Structure 1
Amino acid sequence: MNKTLIVAMETYLRQVKSWSFIMLVLSPFILLAISLGIGYTSATSSSDQQRIAVISEQPALRKEFIKANKDDVKASVTTTAAAQKSVNDNKLSGYLVLSTDKNKVTGVYHSSDSIGTGMKTRVNVFLAQTQQQLNLANAKLSSKQMKSLAVQPAFKEKIKANHGGANLAKIISFWVLVFMIYMILITYSSVTAQEIASEKGTKVMEIIFSSTKASKYFVGKILGVFGVILTQIVVYIVGGYGFFQIAMHLDNIKSLISDNQSLVNGIIKNMLGINLVFVFLGVIIYTIISAFSGALVAKAEDAPKAAQPAIYLSMIAFFLTMPFQSNSDALIAKVLSYVPFFSSYFMPMRIINDNASGLEIGASLVILIASILLLTWYIGQIYEGLILQTDDTSFWKRLRRGLAYQK
């Protein structure tokens, strides 16, 4: 067991220290950091230009408007002359002059450009509310009449669970999950196949197999790659959470997420939990097939070709899911959700669409885990016969010879 762990640790450290792995893990965060940086810089540089000043001879009126629109008003500008200078210097988009007499509230906007739609709406709402308060005061109504005028209409939304935002959350979750599985599979299928194929025909392997069992060595290699995959997934989860918290400090992103909170919650719920387990196990079983393919190549120079069987199989599974995205309860989708190599695509799809019971999910998970253990055990038994083949024969001949190998 110690030798297996040594092989696993050596494989793990070699992979995580490579520049390819570091760039693979960091590249999404670099792109996110650049995007957030540009967004923050743009928002900071243009924040004053998008704000306005409010001028009024009635301090209470001005204070009330600023309180309702504090993020859009530069409160430090208090005079018409200062506001005009800031507009001329492109430090403000304009300034609003508020005034009121006994009967009417007036707002006059000064700028070289038209007022933005959002700001215009907020100004009109404020003027309407203030005018209403003035009208009520002038009308001198009784408390009963005031109470009658204060009654507001009621508006409610009743949205079925299978409509609206829930459907959109399912669609987004499905595509994000499928692409995530596919991209990770493509990456680690190539990495694992080349990791195994690069040892093909070397004398070092004969020395290693003289001191430890080939099955233990194979399990160690697979465990090392598993550790790399798990590390990448954990980094993505932790890093993604960190970037989400940073993004929430940007007003435009925060308001966007707040306006679509139910959609965001639905996507996060579908992406985590049992679906993430299926993603991880799906990558593992394809990694084992990639290792098997890597051991079957004729020589180390053929390593780039070694990942092709696993990649083609994952492409078939990827494209098969597309017709069933909106019909995950179909018979074919149900059957494939229990078939190893396909269940990591189809069962999460059924879970997202609420078409799988707890028993069905458990059965699919047990079959997938059992398949992984059996494949690892079987390939470990014939691994020595596969990796030590150095003659340049046909693929099928090498496969038959490897399958027939007995220690």
Structure 2
Amino acid sequence: MNKFWIVFSQTYFSKLKSKPFISTIIISIILIAVMVNLPKITSYFNKNHVEKVAVIDHTHQLFRPLNLQIKKVNKDIKLTPFEKGEAQAKKAVKDGKYKGYLILDKTSEGLPKASYYAMKLSDETVSDQIKQSLQQIKSMMATEQLGLNSQKLAKISAPVDFHKQSLDKGAKTEKEIDQARVLVYILVLLIYMMVVGYGSMIAQEIASEKSSRVMELIVSSVSPGIHMISKVVALALLGLTQYVIFFLTGILAIKLSGSDINEYLHQNIGLNHIPFATLIFAVIFFLLGYFLYATMFAVIGSLVNRLEEVGQAIMPVTMLIMIGFFLAIYGCMGNPESTLVTVTSYIPFFTPMMMFLRVGILSVPFWEWGSGILIMIVSIALLIWIGTRVYKGGVLMYQSSSVFKAMKSALKITKES
């Protein structure tokens, strides 16, 4: 046990103090702060930046209502009457005096139509705002032509009175489900990133030690099984450390932002009352998923002779994680109660994401998520049992072959030793 803690502490603290880890944390904190405060940053750079548009009004009626409508929706767009003709308007746009120019006219039915010209059409903000404002004017003019007053129009456009309610008293409300979808999506993404990132890190570290022959010195004093498990546990704690830092940074940044996003997240995601059980399940399934895949990555790393071969060797395992991630996104955005989601939540390779998806969004009975956790524990124990035997022979084997052939050779070496 003492040797386990020696390898564990050396791996954990060396990675924790490493420049890549510290720089990743610092960059991530900066990115989180920027993302949370993006509306404020954008508004700061756009402050006092007015987009001028020259307007040629052939109707002599549409400019005034359009200008009033634009001022209501976007004060950064300034419409200016232009009487010098289209040729001069085009020249003024090319000279940079205007963002673009707009020609207002009417259809044969007396409804507004327009043409907008600009040097580049990639920025659709101005044109979209003008189009929406003209749509409002067109709707008002059309209702007047049809003899409809504002009360009749409001009655037609009013949404249907439609109410949804679950007959199951334990089921979540529609708002709770919408909040859970966003939260689960974020946490599933974190689980995916952490498992892929730290799992591949294990494979690379073991392959590096093996290729440099350092592994031969290590296994002479520490059993290969203890060496593998200690590295898996150490990097699990490192991943969980990063997980907690990201989560606390995000919460703190949102609470201190004082921006509209703070209110939006409180109202739509329920940031002020995130279910504690959801966070506990996130940690549980993150650890279970990590241990399952990290053991597989560690075994593959022990079978690789060169560091350059790691990426290709771990590709099948990475593909499994990606399939689980995309299935989880499908269930999160689609139907979390579908047969596909239910069945895959009991397949060990997909359980961490799929079962977490279900417990996060639905009211899943104890025996279902309990069965998922039990399946994961049994699968991890079986994988560690097999993995340590492969690992023991793999770290001492340097012949080049495919992963499956190398696995058979490693098991043979373990039996003979």
Q: TM-score, normalised by structure 2?
A: 0.64
Gaps of 5+ in 2: 49-67, 76-160, 167-171
Percent identity between the two aligned chains: 28
**1:111-190 alignment to 2 at 5 Å?**
160=165, 164-190=174-200
Instruction: Give the drift of 1:7.
Output: 0.7
Distance 1:163 1:230 in 2: 31
Deviation readout 1:248-278 (Å, 9 max, x if unpaired)? xx153344345x2564457666851223311
Deviation readout 1:353-395 (Å, 9 max, x if unpaired)? 3252112111211221232233223322332201111112333
Equivalent residues of 1:329, 1:355 under 8 A apart:
no
Counterpart position of 1:357: 365
State the one-letter code of the partner of 1:17.
K
Q: 3-state DSSP class of the match of 2:255?
A: helix
Q: 3-state DSSP class of the match of 1:380?
A: helix
Q: 3-state DSSP class of the match of 2:209?
A: coil
Distance 2:224 2:265 in 1: 52
Instruction: Give the drift of 1:343.
Output: 0.5
Counterpart position of 2:343: 335
Instruction: Give the drift of 1:345.
Output: 1.4
Equivalent residues of 1:290, 1:306 under 8 A apart:
no
Counterpart position of 1:198: 208
Among candidates 237, 259, 268, match of residue 227 of structure 1: 237
Counterpart position of 1:29: 29
Q: 3-state DSSP class of the match of 1:344?
A: helix
Equivalent residues of 2:182, 2:269 under 8 A apart:
no
Equivalent residues of 2:228, 2:388 under 8 A apart:
yes
CA pair 2-380 structure 1, distance change in 2 beyond 3 A? same
CA pair 353-164 structure 1, distance change in 2 beyond 3 A? closer
Among candidates 309, 312, 316, match of residue 319 of structure 2: 312
Q: 3-state DSSP class of the match of 1:198?
A: helix
**1:388-407 alignment to 2 at 5 Å?**
388-404=396-412, 405-406=414-415, 407=417
- 18-27 or 345-354: which moved more? 18-27
Distance 1:335 1:366 in 2: 15
Equivalent residues of 2:40, 2:259 under 8 A apart:
no
CA pair 377-305 structure 1, distance change in 2 beyond 3 A? same
Deviation readout 1:285-313 (Å, 9 max, x if unpaired)? 11111111111113333233343232111
CA pair 216-46 structure 1, distance change in 2 beyond 3 A? closer
Number of aligned residues: 306
Gaps of 5+ in 1: 50-111, 120-155
Distance 2:9 2:183 in 1: 34
Instruction: Give the drift of 1:217.
Output: 1.4
Counterpart position of 1:6: 6
Alignment partner of 1:281 is 2:291: no
Instruction: Give the drift of 1:45.
Output: 9.7
State the one-letter code of the partner of 1:210.
S
Counterpart position of 1:299: 306
Equivalent residues of 1:9, 1:224 under 8 A apart:
yes
Counterpart position of 2:115: none
Counterpart position of 2:111: none
**Cα RMSD over matched residues?**
3.4
Distance 2:43 2:331 in 1: 42
Distance 1:327 1:279 in 2: 22
Distance 1:332 1:343 in 2: 12
Equivalent residues of 2:254, 2:262 under 8 A apart:
no
Counterpart position of 2:18: 18
Q: 3-state DSSP class of the match of 1:327?
A: coil
Deviation readout 1:53-83 (Å, 9 max, x if unpaired)? xxxxxxxxxxxxxxxxxxxxxxxxxxxxxxx
**1:245-264 alignment to 2 at 5 Å?**
245-247=255-257, 250-257=258-265, 260=267, 263-264=270-271
Q: TM-score, normalised by structure 1?
A: 0.65
Deviation readout 1:318-337 (Å, 9 max, x if unpaired)? 23334444333344433322
Q: 3-state DSSP class of the match of 1:309?
A: helix
CA pair 8-42 structure 1, distance change in 2 beyond 3 A? same
